[in-house]
Amino acid sequence: MSERLSQLLAELPAAAPDPVRSERIRMRCRAHLVRQASRASAARLTAPRDRTVQAWQPLVAVLGIAYLAEAIVQALQVYGVH
């Protein structure tokens, strides 16, 4: 760098954030986090996913048992035991 440019850069004031703007950004971030937390807790209270899982689990179990029973019947027919 040239001597002149170095001198101009040295004369620049140190960068400092604007306190009013910083506080406004902090308040917006906190408000956003509070909204997210309340949505997450409301979603946990309703928990539609849990009801869906509870509905599917017995159905899957019944279908699995039916499949296994049919596989056993088919195997017994193949080996001539009925």
State which amino acid sits at residue 24.
R
How many separate domains does the chain show?
Answer: 2
List the single range of 5-19, 31-45, 48-62 with lowest mean pLDDT.
48-62
- pLDDT of 43 > 80? The answer is no
Are residues 21 and 38 part of one domain? yes
Q: Quote the pTM value.
A: 0.39
Dihedral of alpha carbons 63, 64, 68, 74, sign = positive
Are residues 39 and 4 part of one domain? yes
Are residues 60 and 79 part of one domain? yes
Average pLDDT score over residue span 15-23: 91
Residues 6+ apart with CB under 8 A from 82: 76
| Rounded distance between C-alpha atoms, residue 18 and residue 16, angstroms | 6
- pLDDT of 45 > 70? The answer is no
| Rounded distance between C-alpha atoms, residue 63 and residue 69, angstroms | 10
